[in-house]
Structure 1
Amino acid sequence: MEPLTKDPLLSSLDSYIFYGRLDRFEVSPSIEHKERWDFITNKLRSFASIKDIHDEILRAFYYAAYMKGDNMFYNERWHYLFYWMGYKVLNTLKSNTSEFPEIMYLFKNVRDMLDNTKTHNDIIVEISSDEFPTLKKIYDYIQNYGTINNKLSTHGYKCTQEFNEYIETGYAAYDTFRKRCISNGESCKFFNLIFDTEEKKQLKVLKCREIKDASFFRVLDEEDEDEESRSTTKLGEPLDASQRHMSTMESSHLGLSTHDSSAAPYNSTSSISMEILLPLFGSLFIFFVLYKFTPLGSWIHARFTKKKIGFNEQEVIDESDFLLDHKYENMNINTLTATHKVGYNPL
């Protein structure tokens, strides 16, 4: 496994992710392979020098052996398992490494039990305890190279000191071994085994343009407990650690620290107001464009004018009907002369 790290950039690299899974994940072995697993378990426990990590190794065996094909690490699972196991074994054996080759042969037993398509890689178990640390460093760097290159290609990307050192030491190990293998020495067969294609052997030097303290990239800590309550998803659920990390990283690479006031979210009242007003303004703007620049405007104008004319004509008709329906009668001003007045209908 990789040494434990709290560095947010290193922990996002493939090798750190997979080695972490080998440390933590648990998978139950298949009953179908019970006899074979019993053999491997007994053989593993026969090495008293690594008794403290028997269970860890067995658990990692199960995880790699029964990994599903759609896992992103599926094609590299055996290589990862080999280098994870070798790192564990060497750290436990300390200076007495005489049993290292025999212990590592157990890896081949496990792989062959469920996958015999990788027999061309059998020489991997011949790596000596002396060369193992360097070859592991190179293997991990190759697996992480694409991710690192993509990160550094991002404008304004910032590195931690630990991340920068990892890049420098990884490339140095690769370049040293590459130059040594120009003469095609004995150890070059292990070096060449790491590379699937010839292009992978021609790695360019990667450099960090700006280095920041790890605290610049920190995820939520004890000082940010109040911020955690505001870190919610659209569904109202709290962000998990990876989401909070990505949010922090995005702000960092835009040149904003997690405490930058310019990066603070709008208050809830402003957000609600904007949610109401923006759709309204948008609707009005769309209506204005349609009215001004499409036949819709002419149609509405013609419709309105037609209704107005019809309304005026109706008023004239109603007034004429009223006059025709009511006789004109002279006011009874003088009762004595009223008898001489004659009522008539207006023409």
Structure 2
Amino acid sequence: MTTHSPADLRRLQAEDTGRPVDLAAKLGLPEAALVLAHVGHGVQRIDPTLGRLIPAIQSLGEVMALTRNRSCVIEKVGTYNEFHDGEHAAMTLDAEIDMRFFPRHWVHAFAVEKETEASVKRSVQVFDAAGDAVHKVHLRETSDLTAWQALKRDLVVADQSDSAEFGVRAPVEPAKAAPERIDALRREWSEMTDTHQFNTLIHRLKMNRLGAYRVAGAPYVRPLAVDAVPALLERVHAGNVGIMFFVGNMGCIEIHSGRIESLKPMGPWLNVLDPRFNLHLRGDHIAEVWAVEKPTKRGPAISVEAFDAEGALIFQCFGLRPEKGGDAAEWAALVQGLPVLAEAAE
């Protein structure tokens, strides 16, 4: 791999008009290396500890929160409110900025200021040990700049070097099933009272999510056609159906609860371009889609879940809860009507 100095990386970024993540891939570097190259040039390292960072971000007021994986980007405008810290998991529970955080993946954090012809763009950017983006927070015109200066002052760390050693990116775990435990899977699935019990269940049975879906069968799961994803978005948009759309990576999950106002496909991208919610989904990355039903105390939780060719989860979509304005029967009917996988229909 060719070694680039921080000065080289700054020059290459100045010449590139695309996304930093794409330039990093082209150079064979983690994205964080591009940010690090600007330390001392509009970028400073800050403390990634959630218990310090999220309250500082909350003080900024209205911002744009961005989370992505390899196939999907979600962007929400709002304020980080009702933060609940935790050793292994944390969360914000605002109606707009609804997040789940997994602290061990928050390793490198930066306060970034980038001058453009029109303005100065400010953001907090967080990366994992491999240098892959975990979460980004972009300030808006209405954000509190006094709080921004306080964030930079209070969270600055002693190490302000412009390079770092990154770990190896963890490979995607392929579908893992245990056929000899199918009966136990189905029995325990039927006994669930909360969707959060599912991860514990499959872990105990030595399976993962996709592996369990592949072997569970009806009435727990139905394989859908890849075309079910654009159909899902189109029908949610056309019917003004309330949804909860989850997009995440190893370090965090960001959730949109509401409706879709503006659907704009462009090439391989399926885009939602609403004033306070944007979604950019690579339709050509979708390899498997499942309709999933889990029992809960409040009735069945029905989701549509998409995976890429390596088995990585791209997104999950649930119906909006009735107490938040959703219609459970409407959502169930919409999912029931999505195109099924041809092999399953035969």
TM-score, normalising length: structure 2: 0.20
Q: Which has the larger radius of gyration?
A: 1
Give 1 or 2: higher helix fraction: 1
